[in-house]
Chain A
Amino acid sequence: MTATVLTQIVNGLSLASILILIALGLAVIFGLLGVINLAHADLFMAGMYAVVLAQGVTGNFWFGVLAAPLIVGAIGFVVELGVVRWLRARPLDTLLATLGVGIVIREGVKLLFGAGYRQVANPLPGSIAIGPVAYPIYRLLLIAVTASILAGLAAWLYRTAPGLRLRAMLQDRETAAAYGIDPERASLVAFVVGAALAGLAGALMSPLVTVGPDVGIIYLARAFMVVVVGGVGSLLGLVGGGVIIGGGDTLAGYFLNPTIANAAVLVLAVVILRFRPGGLFR
């Protein structure tokens, strides 16, 4: 029983890692541009297909993990310059436009790869036994990679001048312009970085799921919950939100059943919002 719980905790933390990477992009884009990016799930999905492509061409999974943020970041670059920039002052229009961009990405993937499902081979199958418990190696790696990215990001945000600027802009975009910061440039950087993170998350997740054009949607809803629970303003909040949503979903799904788990996590998010509208960690 203990062994099962420990294994499920690793599973929960690996889901949490993925959700945190997706939520980071959502939060930065929302915080800086005021745009709720409904195409984010499809950028995540595009990251998975970047791995399908790279693995197909080179036979190497890790090449796909490197290529995904670059490819998806480039998509983000085009979307920001071509669509989002022109609509940002109109929230409802950006919502519709990003929804449309998502559909375009999904249909584009169907055109290029077909509508069928793909499987990405796990590059590190097998488990490590620590005491009586066997942990899947790939999931442990996933958690470690996310933790390193978060640690690097935290150091950048809190120890460097560009990081300080980003925090300042997240607090008040208008004031930041008075300090000489080009808001258009900052928006572009935020959107590209947010998209690249979604692509990376998709690439890392690809061996753990069946890859299909519609795979992103379910993660988008959960990632929004992470942002809602964690708040837009803080990195630590997003980590906490990710652990609560990802961990809660996995554990409840294992011990109860997946449908009840989804509902339970949703209820939890609503309850948290009722008592802490700014997020749990404000």
Chain B
Amino acid sequence: MTTNLRIRGLTKSFGGVKALDGVDLTVPAGQVHALLGHNGAGKSTLIKCLGGAFPPDSGTIEIGDRSYTRLTPRESITAGAAIIYQSLSVVDALTVAENVFLGQEWTRHGRVDRRVQEEAAAGLLERVAASCSPRDRVGDLPTGQRQLVEIAKALSRSASVLVLDEPTAALSGAESDALAERVEDLRAQGLAIVYVTHLLSEVERLADAVTVMRDGRVTHHSSVAGLSRNELVEAIAGRRHDATTRSGPARTAGRPRLTVDGLYGPGFGPVSLTVGEGERVGLFGLIGSGRTRLLETLFGRRRGQGGTIRVGELTVNPTRPAQALAAGIALVPADRRAQALFPSLTAQDNVLLPSIRTLSRAGVRALGVERRVFGSLAESVGLRPARPGLPAGAFSGGNQQKLVLGRWINEARDVEVLLLDEPTQGVDVGARQEIYRVVTGLADERGTAVLFASSDPEEVVALADRCLIVAGGRIVGELSGPDLTEQTLLSAVHEPDSRPAQGAA
């Protein structure tokens, strides 16, 4: 059997954090190879290195008979790798045939030969059993068909390695089944297929071999045959960390601080939940389960369509973040770069921007007070380096997150309900523990109610007193006490019936 893809010792760091650390991956022709791991385990970085999105620091990538230490996107395509990212790269305004042959048009006398191109596209569409016509406008097609168009495009470039990044995340049940059949066909045609997924049922159905990643390293590699689901869950969750990282016993909830009653909006709900004084509640679910929408509605970034949100006894229902903040609700969003950080402004500005008006006297900034508040915050969160004048963009991911978190937990603020969306995404292991310590301390000492969304079971176990399982925009289960372990969490979301419903992005 020929080997179509061989990755050896691939290493890649971002600002001191190793996203990939000596990763090996070998996929022979005619194999479906499942790639598993939590968010942030390095799967995306690995496939982006393969696609030429960025160069690895060291290691080699062999595609077919060619070996590379770094690839450009064009080299990756010519070598025979095709990567179908979750966000598809089809052009909505063009037809199916135009998309399939984008950049390699069939021409005659310098003009695109539509007829020949459409015939050729029809052949490729047949190979992937797509039901659309070459003349359809791609923007009018459902997601499943658009995905097949992109796979057809890969075949037109005679790809020998096909990477599918969580291909069923946005598909309905029927579309997922259809895709599984296509994947089996393509395996029979001799492609090497890397299949990134969170769903163990897909691994069991489709994959021949499995590689599990954790913190940038390969932690498990075997064939799927003879591997039980428990062994697979164990491999993803790693050895049992619960006892060591669990931060004290779960506390009994105090009076309710946050009460959500029948809240619903586009893509989620109705959701009802309470978070008590000093309680830390996790929202665990896959990407697209509606967690972010729920948190953003609580914070007033999105408008709910019905239901009530109460802080203590007070009904809030915020329509703007400023209203939520005035009521004592604060959010640390998941996408730090896009939604939270001011990279060119100083660390002190990043922490104090929402508070400088409150601290000011007679319309003039209280510079001395600002410096003191920043100083004590920097100490309490363990900011490194603790320099107020350094631009936030110069800090590591973990310290940037401490700045963003510090925005709401410094002594100038009085936050009653703290919402965190993926609180340690892109944060190194050391800073992660510090952030857990700070959040736990906040709940214990100030009685802040903490509600956080996470797709990392290890994080939920480390941080939550109680965890709500989210799927399809609703709460489908609850785990607490001794039942709250990485294994129970993983089994809860990997039950086939808890797959997110179509459209709940």
Are A and B physically bound partners?
Answer: no
Binding site for A on B (CB under 8 A): none
